[in-house]
Chain A
Amino acid sequence: MADTTHSASHGNSHGVAHGDAPHGHIGLRTYTFTFIGLLGLMFLTVGAWWVEKNVLAIPEWLGVTIAMAIASAKTFLIVYYFMHLKISSRLVQIFASLAFVFLAILFIIVMGDYFARGWPPQQGPLP
């Protein structure tokens, strides 16, 4: 019990200094598998595009969703393993997540405004 209060009072930096974070280690195997995963996802997204163009016409929204899902998975692999978020302190993890929160705020507010005014323009006047 005393231990918990001790580490809580010293905040995160203390936990980092004595926790496993600075000594956390990502091995060569993990890097290799991450890289293979990234290559695989890249061929998957190109393959999905090729199929969409030449074999099976799927709705555009579905194609975009698949491509963005694969891109997000690749981003996760890069951020989590290559950029060491896995072994970073909680504060750095929060900072990294904030980047995507800020982007979401930008996209949602701007698109909300566009939709409220009538977008796409073919479907109505844009004042």
Chain B
Amino acid sequence: MATTTPTQAHGQGKDVHGHGGHDHDHAHVPGLQHHFNTPEQQKEAATLGMWAFLITELMLFGGIFMAYIVYRWGFPVHFVDAATHLNTPLATLNTVVLLVSSLTVALSVHAAENGKMRRVLLLFGATIMLGFGFLGIKGYEYAEKFAHCNGYSTPIAWATGTGQHAVDECLVPGRAFLYPESHGATHGGEPAPAAPTTAGAPTPYQLFFLLYFMATGLHAIHMVIGITVMSVIGWMTWRGKFSPAYFNPIEIGGLYWHLIDIVWVFLFPLFYLI
């Protein structure tokens, strides 16, 4: 310990606040817990445990996909017509945002392998920004639906309180749900069934939007968790906790982020592209 005087430049550069009170015992592999024999074994355990958790996550989303299959099988024409009311261009943009964020996560793991911790921090920052971007676009889509329920055409008009008109559609499930007149969208030669004229009528249209809000809402919650996880691991990186010999949190945090991406890969065609 006598060699670690405060005046000594430590070379890591990050530890300027003097929190580095750890014993830098270089006889050990950094980050190796005592109950593991080798770093490989520790990494294997972490990866396997994360995958076991990811399976339970997939089963959670599986329930929503299950409900989707049942009701789309039952009411295919209603579903095709209802999907025309979703904002596909924005969802496509969101898909690009999410794919880029998956790339930045994959690159950050690659940078950690090579000990480029500054680059890890930059890529984590980009990932978190892209995550917020995704949530912002998603939030705008939700705001559109809620604005319509309040008689405004766009969320901006709603926020500024300009141009309120009679409510002609409300696609948020509940008592106010009002499906608009079909705008001539036919699919496979079959005209869409007549829209109900009473608000809150329990129709398959309402079922579609219930599933839409449930599925994308649960996905958005996972994005919030993912952003939190990335922030914490980014903080740990900044504190200099990781090295090319030990970066398991970066690796398994990345796995979680990719899972969110996979869920969206299926949500996107099932809701927006039908």
Across the interface, A74 reaches (CB within 8 A) one of B52, B70, B75, B265, namely: B265
Q: Is B139 an interface residue (CB 8 A)?
A: no
A89–B44 CA distance with the chains assembled, in angstroms: 8
Set of chain B residues within 8 Å of A46, measured between Cβ atoms: 88, 92, 273
Residue with the highest number of chain A CB atoms closer than 10 Å, among B40, B52, B105: B40
The 0/1 profile, CB within 8 Å of B marked 1, for residues 71-111 of chain A is 10011001101111000110110011011001100110011
Q: Contact: A60 with B70, CB < 8 Å?
A: no
Q: Is A13 an interface residue (CB 8 A)?
A: yes
- Are A82 and B62 also in contact (CB < 8 A) when A60-B187, A120-B75 are? no
Q: Is B87 an interface residue (CB 8 A)?
A: no
Q: Contact: B96 with A75, CB < 8 Å?
A: no
A38–B101 CA distance with the chains assembled, in angstroms: 12
* Interface residues on chain B, number (Cβ under 8 Å): 53
- Are A71 and B62 also in contact (CB < 8 A) when A26-B110, A99-B55, A119-B70 are? no
Q: Contact: A92 with B258, CB < 8 Å?
A: no
Residue with the highest number of chain A CB atoms closer than 10 Å, among B51, B70, B113: B51
> In angstroms, how far is the closest chain B Cβ from the Cβ of A46?
6
Residue with the highest number of chain B CB atoms closer than 10 Å, among A59, A78, A107, A111: A78
Q: Contact: A45 with B55, CB < 8 Å?
A: no
A49–B88 CA distance with the chains assembled, in angstroms: 10
- Are A31 and B258 also in contact (CB < 8 A) when A42-B95, A107-B69 are? no
Q: Contact: B59 with A103, CB < 8 Å?
A: yes
Q: Is A55 an interface residue (CB 8 A)?
A: no
Set of chain A residues within 8 Å of B52, measured between Cβ atoms: 95
Set of chain A residues within 8 Å of B270, measured between Cβ atoms: 67
A21–B192 CA distance with the chains assembled, in angstroms: 54
> In angstroms, how far is the closest chain B Cβ from the Cβ of A105?
10
- By beta carbon, the residue of chain B nearest A85 is B51
Set of chain B residues within 8 Å of A31, measured between Cβ atoms: 103, 106-107, 110
Set of chain B residues within 8 Å of A70, measured between Cβ atoms: 269
Across the interface, A83 reaches (CB within 8 A) one of B48, B65, B95, B258, namely: B258
> In angstroms, how far is the closest chain B Cβ from the Cβ of A51?
11
Known: A111-B70, A119-B70. 10 other contacts (CB 8 A): A13-B41, A16-B40, A22-B40, A38-B99, A95-B48, A95-B51, A107-B66, A110-B70, A119-B73, A122-B74
- Where the two chains meet, the residues of B that have a C-beta atom closer than 8 Å to any C-beta of A are 38, 40-41, 43-44, 47-48, 51-52, 54-55, 58-59, 62, 65-66, 69-70, 73-76, 80, 88, 92, 95-96, 99-100, 102-103, 105-107, 109-110, 113, 187-189, 251, 254-255, 258, 261-262, 265-266, 268-270, 273-274
Could you list 30 examples of A-B contacts with CB < 8 Å? A13-B41, A22-B43, A31-B110, A35-B102, A35-B106, A38-B102, A45-B273, A57-B189, A60-B76, A60-B80, A64-B274, A67-B273, A71-B268, A78-B261, A79-B258, A79-B262, A81-B106, A84-B109, A88-B47, A95-B48, A95-B52, A96-B54, A98-B55, A99-B59, A103-B58, A103-B59, A103-B62, A106-B62, A119-B73, A122-B74
